[in-house]
Structure 1
Amino acid sequence: MPSSLCRVVNALLWALPVFFLGCQGIPLKPSPDTVVLKQRIEERIAGFEGVVGVHYRHLESGSEISIRANETFPTASLIKLPILFALMEKISAGELDWYGKLTYEISRRYAGEDLLASFRDGEKITLAKLVDLMIRYSDNTASLWCQELAGTGTVINEWLQSHGYEKTRVNSRTPGREEDRKLWGWGQTTPKEMTLMMESVHQRNLFGSPWDELMLKVMNSSYWRDEMLSVFPPEVTVYSKQGAVNQSRSEVIVALSPTGPFSLCVITKEQSDTSWGEDNAGFVLLRDLARICQEAGQTDHGP
């Protein structure tokens, strides 16, 4: 077994007890009443100045709620999840080394407050750290580099098509998708396709061990904890990815809730509120809808 793979396996063996402890000792309750839950979601969405798409699924019962869930929305940084998938396919196939060192070139610097952009020209970084920056910190400089390493947007889109994702596409730096980029930005997707992607991470059926487990660990430690993640108590494990551009706020999660694991994706577009404070209408909506879904079942069925 290659030494890099051994290090990954050993790290996961130490981490697995912690992973399972997050789920132990929490008595499961009946699944939520989705009729009541949908009504609460619709009541909260009513009056929002913008378009809102929601997809929710209770993973044990299979019950789901769809509100504009198959409609196209901008991904913003949610596109980093399919970038990760295409990248992990190359890593699991041995085409890229998870612990391999890469050389940063200052020409890669992307405008903003990215951590990687503070590197000096010629500094080294491992692919593992590059992925951490992309997913945990949503570092755009790192993400564009990962997109290139995955084979460019064209290859990522081929991966999406071959895995049944008909509406999720990378637009930025991808030949033939300039008009889509003008309309949707870096990428485009639907709330339902994003929940399906996050569910596939949770189900660990993408690339085999130890790579699926490694993806779970990466998705379970986001720096961006102020929206959906803020409503969950620390003992509840939540896998997540966040996104935001001027007129859109978005987040996708799988939460290992006491009422059973559920997936949730909320994406907005055409928001009238383009501010960037915590009271932005889109950010508040993300928190409120996550809280409604987290409380469902507990309030429906009692303690």
Structure 2
Amino acid sequence: MVEEEIRAVFAAAGAEGRLHAVPIGAGAGEAAEVAVDADESVVLASVVKILPVLEFARQVAAGQLDPRERVRIAAADRLGGWGTAGCADDVELSLRDLAHFAMSVSDNTAADLLLARVGLDTVRLLAEELGLTGIRIVGGPRDVLESMLDEVGARTEGEFAARWPALPDERKRRLAVLDPARTNAGTPREITRLLRLIWRDEAGPPQACAWVRELMGRQVFRHRMVSGFPDEVTVAAKTGTLPGLHAEAGVVAHPDGGRYAVAVFARTRELTATRPAVDSAIGAATRISVDFLRRGLR
């Protein structure tokens, strides 16, 4: 069975994987799927950024926000990660550029400021409106970071980085950010439902959905899903990474028009953020699931 093949791919990489894959488009029935523990709750990590960006796009389409509105990012605003986190000086961006950085390089600061502008409660209501009852949002990137610092007893990111290596693994695994019951969480099936809604223009006005699709297509990280496919196959996606957690959710598009929503969440015993073998396994598992769906739809 294809599910067992996928489990074996992750096991060979020293991980456990949860996956859901479904076709998108006319004639793509709900029954066609690949599901590996697809209804198990998982930590979303930065995959959750799709929702506030979608809400931002909806508010822009409704005329509630001006995408050109300027936001100044000072040192106190910056969180760890990519993008503006590495800037030495204050930065000023538009709201739409915050969305661009949040999706293209998973900029935590940009995502946090965008979430503050559109409203955390509004994003929760969006998930409810879309019927994503299995998704829970407890906060933004700043909330996640502050919970990690508090639990480790660190005052700054630098102090956290110094203390982290000395912590026993069992204590690391007890962190709230690694527990689906205490942090932003959902299921692989709920995430592919979200992607389907966006790609079918059913998650909001068509221009809002199109904008989110475009932003997801700008993601620069090519080491997970993309690694499983040849160049002519495109992937628009969003990664998520925490110690011991490697995830990506996106849509795989073949030149013949076939499109497939896939959400993959892999966990390892080793609590590291960099595991090339696991990243490659995500690409391989995505390819296996999409190939299976393509065979079944022909």
Q: TM range, normalised to the smaller chain?
A: 0.7 to 0.9
Residue number among 242, 248, 261 corresponding to 1:251 in the alignment: 248
For structure 1, the residue ranges without an aligned partner over 5 or more in a row are 1-35
What's 1:199 paired with? 196
The amino acid of 1:133's aligned partner reads F
Quote the sequence identity (%). Answer: 19
Q: Which runs of 5+ in 2 are unaligned?
A: 148-174
Equivalent in the alignment of 1:99: 68
In structure 1, distance between residues paired with 2:87 and 2:65: 25
Superposition RMSD in Å: 2.8
1:88 aligns with 2:57: yes
**Alignment partner of 1:292: what SS?**
helix
Residue aligning to 2:284: 288
TM-score norm. by structure 2 comes to: 0.77
- Asked if the contact 1:228/1:287 (under 8 Å) is kept, the reply is yes
Residue 215 of structure 2 is aligned with which of 203, 213, 218? 218
SS of the residue aligned with 1:170? coil
C-alpha change, 1:125 and 1:248, in structure 2 (3 Å) is same
Q: Is 1:162 equivalent to 2:148 in the alignment?
A: no
Q: Is the 8 A contact 1:117 1:141 kept in 2?
A: no
Q: What is the CA-CA distance between 1:103 and the residue it aligns to?
A: 2.2
Structure-1-length-normalised TM-score: 0.75
| Deviation by residue 1:154-208 (Cα, 9 ceiling, x = unmatched) | 321122122211121222357xxx8965734751111011111111221122332
Given the alignment, which residue of 10, 17, 39 partners 1:70?
Answer: 39
1:135 matched to 2:103: yes
The 8 Å contact of residues 19 and 188 in structure 2, kept in 1 or not, is answered as: yes
Structure 1 or 2: more helix by fraction:
2
Distance 1:43 1:50, change over 3 A: closer
Amino acid at match of 1:261: R
Alignment partner, residue 263 of structure 2: 265
**Equivalent residue, structure 2, for 1:21:** none
* Partner SS for 2:124: helix
Separation in 1 of the partners of 2:293 and 2:252? 14
User: In the alignment, what sits opposite 1:56?
Assistant: 21
* Cα 1:72–1:189 shift into 2, 3 Å: same
The aligned residue for residue 239 of structure 2 is 242
